[in-house]
Amino acid sequence: MSAKRISIFPLPGAILYPGLHLPLHIFEPRYQALIKDAMARDRRIGMIQPQRGEEGAPLFSVGCIGKIGEFEALDGGRFNIVLEGESRFRVLRELDVITPFRQIEGELLDEREDDCLAAVERASFEQESRRFADAQGYQVDWDSVARLDDQSLINGVAQIVPFDAASKQALLEADGLSERCELMVQLMQFYGRRDGDDERVTLQ
């Protein structure tokens, strides 16, 4: 697959998946410039996590391209936007640019639109999700969960699940829905056990 230039928004803990949405409030001048540039071109930016929270930190290897759907201009040059996830990408190299925002050369990753879980995988995931939600004290509409298709369920939970940045990145990089589902079950079991030491999982 051919490489393409991608303007990126490195943000710890912010994960986007194809087919899902991510609301963002843009207030830093460099990211205001990023959004203005994207709106003047094709409305697309790349969301990716930095490996550390410091300025200019190395990037993780996989992110997701989002198209700016909803757009609201606010006072002071700020924006409210909603990104619509389109495709994951792999970083090939970071580019030397003069723009205030970072840019990379990346390749888009193939996504299987018909990817789905076996019945036993789905049942195991829903069972572990109930245990995890109960342990964390979350209120969940399980009837609505049961009506979700496999991709919306697994990717939707993976996008918002309260794990650390490295765990969320591992879920994004998982090769296919079954692998992501299996990893998430393992992570819910791991983080759920931490509550025994009074280490409640917190949102990143």
pLDDT at 196 over 60: no
Separation between Cα atoms, residue 180 and residue 17, nearest integer Å: 12
- Domain ranges for the chain, please list them: 3-108, 119-197
Q: pLDDT for 144-190, tens place per residue?
A: 888 999 999 999 999 988 889 999 999 999 999 999 999 999 999 98
What burial class does residue 152 get, using C-beta atoms within 10 Å of its C-beta: 0-12 exposed, 13-18 middle, 19+ buried? Answer: middle
Q: Give the max Cα distance, the chain.
A: 52
For residues 157 and 146, what is the distance between their CA atoms, to the nearest angstrom?
A: 13
The pLDDT score that the predictor gives to residue 1 is: 58
**Alpha helix locations (H) across 47-174?**
119-136, 142-146, 150-160, 165-173
Separation of alpha carbons 141 and 75, rounded Å: 37
Count CB neighbours of 1 within 10 A. Answer: 10
In terms of CATH architecture, what is 3-108? Roll (2.30)
User: Helix 119-136 vs helix 150-160: angle between axes, to the nearest 10 degrees?
Assistant: 30
